[in-house]
Structure 1
């Protein structure tokens, strides 16, 4: 299937500091593109992979599981660590959970992590019924474009495939158990008004990770897809300051080559 316009993966060859950005469940690299380009313009090497089953049609996602999504970001991280001396991982929503697992499993290879409205649990009464319901009903209403800013839309699916949602639920449970293995410096930004992931998810993550260098930032003007919302610039600036603090002297100058 052809990739939806705007959902293409993004890569920019910059300096010795690399950043892997992980998009969310049923979303695409489009939600991360402005953030990626902001970092690329400041000389960083940037990678935004398209997760398997995403960015085309929901039927394609129905055939994938968390194993496929995680394998793709793991591959992208290994590629970056082979290219760069210092690597960070950033994630939005489910991308936050992918980020946390990469941090737990790769240890010192990940210098620091930035999470935006990270998911930790599939919520609602229907979540308990997913193991059965997914065999009876293929999809439910989509979760994309939870954005306060007028005129902004997310390139994502209008339906949530329930086989994939069931796999996501299992993945969240797995990651929750691995949170104590996360020791890296952590910047967590979340929206008090989020119609997809409640603030309780961020609170649980902060309570369970072993990181001691932790900063929490509230995104008061944004909903779930905050990277495309009113607080986007705040996210970009805070994340760059985080990278510059942890990789002093390695960030700066304009990047030379980019690719979409």
Structure 2
């Protein structure tokens, strides 16, 4: 099966949103979020990571550097079209978003991290996960993991809603990885994720862009400890929205509408702040030191969906 490009853009506007799918996943898992944001006036780009939407061999042939290169390409395209750009990611996609914010300070105006995964420690993960995590931090351990380990998803497949779960599982088991991703993640790719995480952990203090973490309280693959770790170690303001009726794939599960509203409200605040800072920067134009010119500026236009942004602040 050849790799199929499932990346897509939707919406229009000067505020852009780059969305990044998870390990072994597909841009389709972000479709609901993308369409919801587009309806509210955002230009949304759901990128596809290198090696994804193909076979397990395609995924193994790619590294986290390749995945990140896909993110950079999509980000630069969006930057060329928008004044403000936020970046969101699901699971490993959130880790890639963090790396981008660290590497491109001042260009990523805000981060939304959906079930960010620094380590797999949810209630449905195997009992030997602690041994696996220990092994992944050494070259020798990774060599063993690459040879003998693979992670095959099982119930509840990251989804609490039984109807949605049935559709996703049927798609995964059909062998069509372009719709719901692959069922089994190779050990090589798990090692690549942990190598990425090792780099990002060292960058967290340098990330000052405002961030919102949205995660399920009962996340079956990555516990809330992931969100708590990021809150303690990131260098900027980090808000959280904890969902009480979802599992890991929060972007398609029961509370996806609440997730979209939270994302949109956060994005409105970020967009308004960027516009205000730009307005202040244009107020005084120093033609020369002795005779600065003061310029009257028109009020900044309301950000898309500004009415919703006046809703109560997120906790």
**Correspondence for 2:21:** 23
For residues 143 and 95 of structure 2, what CA distance do their matches in structure 1 show? 24
Partner of 1:238: 262
> Does 1:132 pair with 2:143?
yes
Question: For 1:14 and 1:205, how far apart are their aligned partners in 2?
Answer: 31
1:217 to 241, 248, 271: 241
Which residue of structure 1 aligns with residue 304 of structure 2? 251
Does the 8 Å contact 2:90/2:116 carry over to 1?
yes
Report the counterpart of residue 49 of structure 1 in structure 2. Answer: 47
Q: Which residue of 2 aligns with 1:188?
A: 213
In the TM superposition, what is the alpha-carbon distance from 1:146 to its structure 2 partner?
0.8
Matching of residues 159-174 of structure 1 within 5 Å: 159-174=184-199
**Contact 1:121/1:173 (8 A) holds in 2:** no
Distance 1:147 1:122, change over 3 A: closer
RMSD: 1.9
In 1, the alpha carbon distance for the partners of 2:267 and 2:232 equals 23
Query: Which residue of 2 is the match for residue 105 of structure 1?
Result: 103
2:224 to 184, 199, 202: 199
Task: Measure the CA separation in 2 of the matches of 1:244 and 1:129.
Answer: 42
Deviations 1:113-136 (CA, angstroms, capped at 9, x unpaired): 111110113552223335132342
Paired position in structure 2 for 1:257? none
Structure 1 residue runs of 5 or longer lacking an equivalent are 254-260
Secondary structure at 1:198 match in 2: coil
Residue 151 (1) aligns with residue 163 (2): yes
- Secondary structure in 1 aligned to 2:85? strand
Q: Distance in 2 between matches of 1:90 and 1:109?
A: 14
Of structures 1 and 2, the one with the larger relative CO (CA 8 A, separation 6+) is 1
Between the aligned partners of 1:151 and 1:71, the Cα distance in structure 2 is 35
The aligned counterpart of 1:258 is none
Check conservation: 1:191, 1:219, Cα contact below 8 A: yes
- 1:175 and 2:200 equivalent? yes
